[in-house]
Structure 1
């Protein structure tokens, strides 16, 4: 079991790992070259859901993660925080330019294939990134809230998997997991059930929720 000093160091590293992004007002690469469309670089220091919502309201439609993002279980806090940002940006409909790094083959297992595809995946065969781009579509793994439950619809692995979360202890953790929860503080039953269902990633001493929040329902809805 990690010592309290190690846990404190992990928590501090997580808080300090604010993602840095480059921002534009348009999806189109040609339009992004026009005067006034580039907004420069910014370090996002707040909760990722809040930050992405504010960027979208300000007219941002494309962002670039300035550093490589490691996908594996041993990813540092900076990569884990970048992935939560990528999840929120994908759910908001933003285009994301980013470079992935994989050293243990996890990219081929499609856990992250609901996220906006990377330009390249270092450490994997080229067909991994090609397949990610070829099979990507919006809302591939999403959740939505109802009265007293959360529904997750997951098509990352081809067929639809439907999960209904209605136990109070599990529901109480969904919002916290969107930003990342210390693994030592996550109730065992919640950790076990979400991990078994493939709904959380565990990196840098934190667990974070993989499904994206539904913001706009696609048409036709049966494709989700």
Structure 2
């Protein structure tokens, strides 16, 4: 008999601290050590926050040039979604990123996330990472749920791009893609719309939702 069970997801362990400041993190009692994330993906950021984590460090590079196999893609998407959710909570994230060389501006799709410590892939990675750091701020690309609609506000390209979706199937697709799903999991036309506006990212065989649902407002809501 041949087993058809899906492979178990790879472990996800982070180093975490109770403060944003590096000097403060060196003080006794400020380190949380290595944290094994056992909660479902949509609860992992909450798990870290409730533990007191305000600064986290991913071990190993997130390599988006090596995501052809489903397991590798799923592991990369899981980590990227967690970075997205931690960014929404204003947690400082230390991570390393390797992108494919094309498109050269592919880093912009992720530029609403906390900037990585190192970036590999663009033709001029130093310039790209410097621009990412200089232009980054919270709430750069977010979505919010209203009564019967979803609104996305995207400033990754410098100007405000605003999208409102009232159709239930779009809202269902966002839920489906929140933590990664195969392309076939959502209607083809909806996936095409999201890809055209670069609101989802294709990582190997998976698509995942890029905007975050903000947890900590840095300004009054009317000013966002």
Q: TM-score, normalised by structure 1?
A: 0.87
Identify the residue that residue 19 of structure 2 maps to in structure 1: 26
The answer to whether the 8 Å contact 1:154/1:161 transfers is yes
Give 1:67 shift.
Answer: 1.4
Matched residue, 2:111? 113
The offset of 1:179, in angstroms, is 1.2
Give the SS at the match of 1:212. coil
Task: Confirm or deny that 1:149 pairs with 2:149.
Answer: yes
Q: What's the Cα RMSD here? A: 2.2
From 102, 106, 109, the equivalent of 2:99 is 102
Shift of 1:45: 3.5
Structure 1 pair 222/155, CA: closer, same or farther in 2 (3 Å)? farther
* TM-score, reference length from structure 2: 0.87
CA apart distance, 1:144? 0.4
The Cα shift of 1:60 comes to: 0.8
Correspondence 1:91 to 2:88: yes
Count matched residues.
215
Deviation (angstroms), 1:222:
6.1
Long gaps (5+) in structure 2 = none
Is the Cα–Cα contact under 8 Å of residues 107 and 128 in structure 1 kept in the other structure?
no
Deviation at 1:17, TM superposition (A): 3.4
Q: Residues 39-68 of structure 1, C-alpha deviation per residue, up to 9 Å, x if partnerless?
A: 111232333331111211221101111110
